[in-house]
Amino acid sequence: MGKKTVAVLTALITCFALLPAPLLAQTTVAGTLVFNFNINANNGYGGPTGTPSCTATATVNDTGSGATISESSNALADGPYSNATCTVSIGYKWILASASTDKVVLSYSVSAPLPNPGAPPGSSQTRTSQVQNFVTINLPPNGAKTTKTITVTINQ
C-alpha cells in the first residue's frame, strides 16, 4: 500500500468513527383513547347560557429519544345541564424509541358556562373543572382502543 492509500483509508476510518451511533430501534404505536365524561351540576349550572365543553389530553415522554408528544381533542356535551355527557376521542400514531417502557399521562378539563347575575342579558361566566395528570397508564398495544370514564361535578 502506498502512502496515499493509507492516508485515504485513515481519513475514511476517521470519518466513520465520527458518525453518530445508530438511532435506537423505533416502534410505531397507533390507537384511540376515548374519554367518556359524566358532568353533574349543582346550584344553577348551565341554564340557557351555553353548552359545557370537554377537553382531553394525552402526553407521552419518550424516554428513549427525549421527545415529548402531546395530543388533545375536545367536544361539546349533550344532555340536560344537570346530567350532561361528553365523549372525546384522541386518535394517535406515535413513533417511539422506548415504546416498551413509555407511559401515557392523561389529563382533562371540563368548562361550563354559568349564569352571571347582575350582568347584561346573554352574559355568562365560565367555571372550569380541571385535573392535570389524572392518571398515568402503560402505553396501550398497537391498534388498541382505550376507554376512560370520568365523572365531574361543577359548582356555581
94 has a pLDDT exceeding 70: yes
For residue 35, pLDDT over 90 is answered with yes
In this predicted structure, what is the pLDDT of residue 141? 95
Question: Sorting pLDDT into bands at 50, 70 and 90, what band is 147?
Answer: very high
**pLDDT for the residue numbered 96:** 96
Q: What is the mean pLDDT of the chain?
A: 79
pLDDT at 156 over 50: yes
Contact 77, 39 (CB under 8 A): yes
> Residues 140, 148: contact at Cβ < 8 Å?
no
CB 59 within 8 Å of CB 134: no
